Chains A and B, each alone.
Chain A
Amino acid sequence: MARIETLMWVEKYRPVELKDLVNQEAIVERLLSMLNSPREMPHLLFSGPPGTGKTTAALCIVRKILGESWRDYTLELNASDERGINIVRDRVKTFSRYVGIGGEAPLRIIILDEADEMTNDAQTALRRIMEESSRICRFILVCNYSSGIIEPIQSRCAIFRFLRLNEEDVVDYLRHICKEEEVDFGDKALSLIYEISGGDLRLAINTLQSSASFGKVNFENVKKTAGISGKSEVGKLVDLALRGEFKQAREKLLELMRVYGMSERDVIKYANEAIFKLDLQNLDEVAESLAKYDYRLIVGAQPDIQLTAMIAELGKIGKESGFITKKKETKR
């Protein structure tokens, strides 16, 4: 365990060159042609589902343009840790103007991950900075949905839409890692990992590595690790809520938010992923309820009030859909 970067396979096997990116050929080709003259490169906006290589592509570009000392000329920020205007005023503005002036690097690059989490104020402030600093500074904005980025910023960027990875690509990559690491694996197990990950390569690799830590990557070991991430904790929360276990569901909510620091937006995002894995007749009502309270998170002052209200409402919907009896049947 010499270094953290090599301990986890997600980092160890993160491609360092664009050409090694998994199945985003069209994007890679366009990017490579731009990189021929980096100074003329526009700002970039990468959108797409999680685990499709957006951040990796950004890091590859940075390495390519800035070379060995890329860390000195790159600012990497994650908007979901701080969403407000301050992140732009303080860190982005500072960096875009003053870092490394007179140095040898042709450009300074700011990677803004989860940029769609930024508030509108922050994005508006960002827009000015993008213009003012364009002589020496490039932005690479990374997000899940480009619709979460205000129009003026979109129009200042070249937009690249990353595609969800298909089973073949993910399984191939996992197989490659298994061989490198000399781990026993079964094809059925790799397919199951794909199914669990939903095409998210990062999640797939994490699942692969944790299964491998139990000896080999077989069906049983993959199943073992399927329920450990925070996402499945939100799944449990939804399950409790739909079964009308109001008190327990609320305690789960408080645990996730106050102990593990999950944001209210993430809770509702993962809840939304979880409900579509459920076999429910009135899924539309569940989705409607989630949408209602997602909106209320924006316009309300105290998130746990809104999410608690949602939990109560889900209990009613679950009852009407016969969610409880269905659960019992499957258990038998």
Chain B
Amino acid sequence: MWVERYGPKNIKDMVGNEETRISFLNWLKDWKKGSKPAILIGPPGTGKTTLVHLAADELGYNLIELNASDVRTKDKMTQKLGPTLSTHSLFNGKSLIFLDEVDGMYYRQDRGGIEFVQELIDSGRVPLVMAANIEDDKKVIKLIRKSKVFRFRRVVPRLVELYIEDILKKDVAKLSKESIRLIVREAKGDMRAAINTAQSLAGLSTEELSSVVSSRNLAYSLKESFEAFFNADSQEEAYKALIASKVPPRDKVKIAYLSVINSGLKGDTLIKALEKIGEADKIVNMIGTTQEWRLLRYLDRLLAYSLFNTLPKGSVSYSEEDMPWNLKVRMWNEGKVLKDIGGRLSKFLHISSREAVSIFMPYLLVVIGKEKKSLERFIRLLGLGESALKVMVKESERVFLKVR
């Protein structure tokens, strides 16, 4: 695993979140009995766990870690941490307790675990560091109040790029500028993901790579490259245009799909084109589930050749129009509220919330009747508010139109 082999070996090798790193290190250096604990919050792959490990190393702490793979009930935690906490302990050297993934602790599962952490915090006998991905979680909010917070942000693309280039310089593999750009784009600020993708791309031969990642440096816009694709004079030209678009695989298929849908094609041409796009979509899924990037080369060729052979030149133009605006508006305004309603209903009715909305609700609405007052009362029973009522009134009208 490259992540282990080429991950940072000391703090100054880490990238991104530099200020946070420094202030965390200072917190640990200045720690004394009774100090507040630290909580590190940020998305995956931004260096939280790595920082704690390296900091403990550099300052000579003995690190005791509990993460989501451990059962974190009070008993288990006492068992593991007891020796450290006891003043008569034999290794009364410097210990640091690290609770990783605290947002993954559960009141029920990790029985008493949260309370135990609270006690740990209050005792303040050893440095306590916690890490979490999200902060809008009830437990995390509680912990934040009692702790010094260190926030981690996604690593900026340029730094991801530099780090990957650095790894490659260690003579592991050669990757083109374009490959690196792909890695950076796919990683979205997650260093771990970036290194993993780099490793998977490095396993490809030069020839394979060139079909996965475009080696041409044409600064086509999205629209231009797809227009060129749909107006190509040969298979090869179509293929090149598609590659030049430099869109992630999933979006490539989606744009081809939406363009075809919105161009008013009919009959066999439409059927065949959609079927081939569906095939391409299968490849996208395979790449997604297996992380086998080499499959990408088939994607571009399949899309390019099959659509070139199916679609008359110029019959399709670029479009990213996903759905008619009236549906879009309904999706935003009603979709979420309906989901809430379904969630509440499912609890009373022993059916899934999806079924509650799409199958069951019309009957309910008929039974409640057209009167707004009855609907109001019902919404109140569900414990929902004004927006839910609005949607229910609309749905009620729709249903009664159908029964007339």
Contact = CB atoms under 8 A, between A and B. Distances in A.
Contact of B403 (A1, A5, A95, A225): A225
A300 interface: yes
Contacts of A93: 109
Interface in B101-132: 106, 108-111
A40 B278 CA distance: 50
Given A259-B335, A302-B254, A309-B275, A80 B352 contact: yes
Contacts of A233: 358
Interface string A241-254: 00000100011001
Interface residues of B, number: 66
A113 B352 contact: yes
Interface string B354-383: 110111101110111100001001100110
A152 to B, nearest CB: 22
A81 B359 CA distance: 14
B381 A3 contact: yes
Given A1-B381, A224-B403, A229-B362, A309 B367 contact: no
Interface stretch (B40-48, B235-243, B307-315, B341-349): B341-349
B350 interface: yes
24 contacts: A3-B381, A8-B364, A8-B367, A10-B349, A78-B351, A98-B73, A98-B110, A113-B351, A213-B366, A228-B403, A229-B360, A229-B363, A259-B335, A261-B342, A300-B281, A301-B250, A301-B253, A301-B282, A301-B284, A302-B250, A302-B284, A306-B278, A312-B274, A315-B271
Contacts of B108: 94-95, 98-99
A103 to B, nearest CB: 13
Contacts of B403: 214, 224-225, 227-228
A246 B282 contact: no
A261 B335 contact: yes
A203 B331 CA distance: 27
A101 B381 CA distance: 33
A305 B254 contact: yes
A263 B355 CA distance: 9
A97, A98, A255: most-surrounded residue (chain B CB, <10 A): A98
A7 interface: yes
Interface string A190-211: 0000000000000000110110
A113 B345 CA distance: 15
Nearest to B382: A4
B348 A4 contact: yes
Interface in B303-349: 323-324, 327, 330-331, 334-335, 338-339, 342, 345-346, 348-349
Nearest to B363: A206
A7 B230 CA distance: 57
Given A229-B363, A250-B261, A254-B323, A309 B274 contact: yes
A305 B323 contact: no
Contact of A312 (B110, B271, B334, B335): B271
Interface string A293-326: 1001001111001101100110110000000000
Contact of A258 (B253, B327, B360): B327
Nearest to B401: A228
A167 interface: no
B211 interface: no
A230 B350 contact: no
Given A114-B352, A260-B357, 4 more contacts: A78-B346, A251-B324, A255-B327, A261-B353
Interface of B: 73, 106, 108-111, 250, 253-254, 257, 261, 266-268, 270-271, 274-275, 277-278, 281-282, 284-286, 288, 323-324, 327, 330-331, 334-335, 338-339, 342, 345-346, 348-355, 357-360, 362-364, 366-369, 374, 377-378, 381-382, 399, 402-404
B394 to A, nearest CB: 11
A186 B349 CA distance: 28
Interface of A: 1, 3-5, 7-8, 10-11, 55, 59, 76, 78, 80-81, 90, 93-95, 97-99, 101, 113-114, 206-207, 209-210, 213-214, 224-225, 227-231, 233, 246, 250-251, 254-256, 258-263, 266, 293, 296, 299-302, 305-306, 308-309, 312-313, 315-316
B357 A261 contact: yes
Contacts of B282: 296, 299-301
B327 A78 contact: no
A238 to B, nearest CB: 15
Contacts of A97: 109
A269 to B, nearest CB: 11
Contacts of B324: 251
Given A8-B367, A97-B109, A231-B359, A313 B271 contact: yes
Contacts of B285: 299-301
Q: Which of B111, B351, B377, B404 has most chain A Cβ within 10 Å?
A: B351
Contacts of A228: 362-363, 366, 399, 402-403
